[in-house]
């Protein structure tokens, strides 16, 4: 390692020791995850302080350009920062769809003015974003969407609805796919537009899930006005941006499979699989069940291999952003997370059967809910079947047999 990078590591270590509050070096309880936004609330005052300090350095988005509020770090410096944050077990200062999805496509497709308007606010956690993609009749076949945007002078009038809009009831702005040309083939005539969720005509309704939580919403647009300048990229070429953003989203979702991670949506019980297993099925030295020991050992090996593969993929795509490999990572990461939840249920036995009421602690009550929630990993961001199709066609370069099979019918 060069002397310059060694100096950066020491400076980073010194800064973190001085500026990361002690409570931000502990496991993150769900109620303390920081999403930011105009109406942000902080269960722990240190969370706000930690966000402000990290945002001032641009380290909530360490590799974004400094002119847009980011840290302007090189990949080597960003890796050092991540290592030093991990070393002190620091919590993420900010969880944001703006960081994981919108920001990267604005850097690639947005105008300079759009970047100046939105990226610094994302870095500072001032605006919370949601994603308007799926519709009641357009899920896996996303390109068949019908939400329309009609141009009226210098603004668009947006009408239609979206579904499975994560945290739409809490978001400030939305990045949304709309149809701007109904005469064009379905993969054309789609545009990518941004608008304020406080706009007149926007309404949301939470969807209750089997897990008991309601992170998803139905979202309705009743003649919503959005400035024409809020179109990102070329008019009627939103499908290009949509596909790119999905690669970023799938990379984010793949993080559910990183052992011990705190990835949003994947669920993360306090403690590792083996610590939970030892609590219920072990003695002073080892687990009593040899089959469970073997399953946990294999899970840990697979988790470590997945983490290394994810890191290698990020290094190989340096400068080019995510690619079709994101489908591989998304598919395997989600399957790995489902295995983790199943292992937790098996390890806890009947202590994982509690749903509410007395007789179970909070960790025990969360186990079945997290297992149920993990099933959605195979649907969100593109179903497992879609990912396998992408892998077959784009990664393995296998022939598309759809036309052949149709011809035989």
108 and 217, same domain (yes or no): no
- In a domain, residue 29? The reply is yes
pLDDT tens by residue, 151-170: 999 999 999 999 999 999 99
* Domain housing 165: 129-236
> Of 135, 249, 264, 364, which one is the catalytic site residue?
249
Strand partners, 356: none
145 and 290, same domain (yes or no): no
267 and 231, same domain (yes or no): no
- In a domain, residue 382? The reply is yes
- In a domain, residue 409? The reply is no
33 and 99, same domain (yes or no): yes
251 and 232, same domain (yes or no): no
184 and 287, same domain (yes or no): no
Q: From residue 378, how far is each of 57, 257, 300, 329 by CA, in Å?
A: 36, 12, 21, 12
CA distance 296 to 340: 9
Q: What is the pLDDT of residue 392?
A: 84
Q: What is the pLDDT of residue 170?
A: 96
Q: Which residues of the chain have pLDDT under 50?
A: 259-270, 409
| Count of domains observed in the chain | 3
Count how many Cα atoms sit within 13 Å of the Cα of residue 24 in the half-sphere of its side chain. Answer: 25
96 and 21, same domain (yes or no): yes
387 and 259, same domain (yes or no): yes
Instruction: Give the CA angle between residues 340, 362, 345 to the nearest 5°.
Output: 30
Strand partners, 190: 179, 237
Residue 52 annotated to the active site: no
CATH of residue 148: 2.40.110.10
pLDDT tens by residue, 45-70: 999 999 999 999 999 999 999 999 99
Instruction: Give the CA angle between residues 191, 176, 392 to the nearest 5°.
Output: 75
DSSP 216: E
**Polymer length in residues for the chain:** 409
């Amino acid at each position: 390692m060069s002397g310059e990078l060694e100096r950066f590591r020491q400076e980073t270590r010194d800064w973190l020791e001085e500026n990361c509050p002690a409570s931000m070096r502990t496991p993150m309880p769900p109620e303390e995850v920081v999403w930011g936004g105009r109406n942000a609330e902080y269960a722990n005052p240190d969370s706000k302080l930690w966000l402000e300090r990290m945002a001032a350095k641009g380290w909530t988005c360490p590799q974004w350009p400094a002119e847009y509020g980011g840290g302007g770090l090189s990949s080597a410096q960003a890796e050092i920062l991540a290592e030093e944050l991990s070393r002190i077990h620091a919590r993420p200062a900010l969880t944001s769809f703006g960081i994981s999805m919108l920001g990267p496509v604005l850097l690639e497709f947005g105008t300079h003015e759009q970047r100046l308007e939105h990226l610094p606010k994302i870095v500072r956690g001032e605006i919370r974003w949601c994603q308007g993609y799926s519709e009641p009749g357009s899920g896996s076949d996303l390109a068949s969407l019908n939400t329309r945007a009609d141009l009226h002078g210098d603004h668009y009038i947006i009408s239609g609805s979206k579904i499975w809009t994560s945290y739409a009831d809490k978001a400030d702005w939305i990045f949304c796919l709309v149809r701007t040309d109904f005469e064009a083939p379905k993969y054309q005539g789609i545009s990518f537009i941004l608008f304020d969720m406080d706009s007149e005509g926007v309404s949301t309704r939470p969807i209750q899930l089997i897990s008991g939580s309601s992170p998803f919403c139905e979202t309705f647009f009743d003649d919503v006005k959005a400035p024409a300048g809020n179109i990102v990229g070329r008019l009627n070429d939103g499908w290009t941006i949509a596909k790119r953003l999905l690669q970023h989203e799938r990379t984010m979702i793949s993080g559910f499979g990183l052992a011990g991670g705190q990835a949003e949506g994947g669920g993360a019980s306090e403690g590792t699989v083996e610590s939970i297993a030892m609590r219920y099925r072990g003695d002073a030295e080892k687990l009593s069940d040899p089959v469970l020991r073997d399953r946990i050992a294999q899970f840990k090996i697979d988790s470590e291999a997945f983490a290394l593969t994810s890191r290698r993929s990020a290094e190989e795509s340096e400068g080019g952003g995510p690619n079709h490999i994101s489908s591989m990572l998304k598919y395997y990461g989600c399957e790995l997370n489902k295995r983790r939840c199943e292992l937790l249920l098996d390890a806890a036995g009947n202590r994982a059967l509690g749903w509410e009421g007395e007789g179970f602690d909070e960790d025990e009550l969360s186990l079945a809910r997290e297992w149920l929630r993990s099933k959605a990993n195979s649907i969100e961001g593109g179903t497992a079947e879609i990912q396998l199709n992408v892998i077959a066609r784009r990664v393995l370069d296998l022939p598309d047999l759809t036309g052949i099979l149709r011809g035989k019918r």
